[in-house]
Structure 1
């Protein structure tokens, strides 16, 4: 399974937990290690991640953001903060791609704007190398 699909699955697990209240461990039963690492890592750092998203989602509270978009961004911000081996542009591109496939038409731009702002605030490279 490609890492893109595992990122999607991790975001879906966070989404399902937010919507249904089911324990994350139940939702990750049988998940691949990378999927589990992303979902559990994002969950372990949820307050820090949500603070970064909220600080850059001007006019939006974290709870006002649609649950799937929130899950997608949580995975990407976790990667930006805690997975240095993953280039920031990859995290952003993957999140925007997932949002484009599974969320509304406005979601990719919304996700890209917030994640790019987080990356700028963190002083990380947001452009893919030439």
Structure 2
């Protein structure tokens, strides 16, 4: 009997051309991390978005970053800030102005994704928001972000959330 071993790993074979390159999801995660920092800077310093973007592109290695997604987030969140904050407010126990600026940046980014990037599943948005809060937020900031996004997702993606919970 002859078997087809074409899918079997052979250590002597050369690596595929894309071996060692980060996946799309890794590049997006890196873009979200840089965008969170950039949005924090925008919120705190009120610099122009173009200045912040230029600074981040000079100061950071973008080889493992989805640069287009970073730019889309950085410019999209401020563009839709009023809509984002209006969607967030009913899910908060505090006023927007009272939120920790880092957690606010994470929540605005995640809300923007829920509103404007329906190609990104809501569960991915929530998980990425939690991870951003773990990296940049206060000790229990990720729990707060999780709670807010768990309330927000069904409001903004009702059909998707219902379909998943079946």
Superposed pair shares fold, TM > 0.5: yes
TM-score (normalised: structure 2): 0.71
Equivalent residue number for residue 87 of structure 2: 52
Q: Does 1:63 align with 2:97?
A: yes
**Which secondary structure state, in structure 2, belongs to the residue aligned with residue 125 of structure 1?**
helix
Shift in alpha-carbon separation, 1:126–1:107, aligned structure 2, 3 A:
farther
Corresponding position of 2:23: none
- Report deviation, 1:44: 0.8
User: 1:9: which partner in 2?
Assistant: 34
Structure 1 ranges of 4+ moved more than 2 A: 126-129
> Structure 2: how far apart are the matches of 1:126 and 1:9?
32
Q: Is the 8 A contact 1:14 1:39 kept in 2?
A: yes
Choose the corresponding residue for 1:100, options 99, 117, 134.
134
- 3-state SS, counterpart of residue 2 of structure 1: helix
Deviation at 1:82, TM superposition (A): 0.7
TM-score calculated relative to the size of structure 1: 0.90
Structure possessing the higher relative contact order (Cα contacts under 8 Å, 6 or more residues apart):
1
Q: What is residue 122 of structure 2 aligned with on the other side?
A: 88
Partners in 1 of 2:143 and 2:27 — Cα distance? 24
- Partner of 1:105, secondary structure, is coil
Q: Give, in angstroms, the shift of residue 126 of structure 1.
A: 8.2
- 2:9 aligns with none
Deviation at 1:19, TM superposition (A): 0.9
Q: Which runs of 5+ in 1 are unaligned?
A: none
Report the Cα distance in structure 2 between the residues aligned to 1:39 and 1:117, rounded to whole angstroms.
Answer: 24
The aligned counterpart of 2:149 is 115
Can you give the 5+ residue segments of structure 2 that lack an aligned partner in the other structure?
1-25
Within 1, Cα distance between the matches of 2:164 and 2:131?
15
In 1, the alpha carbon distance for the partners of 2:136 and 2:79 equals: 25
Report if the CA contact (8 A) 1:88-1:126 is conserved.
Answer: no
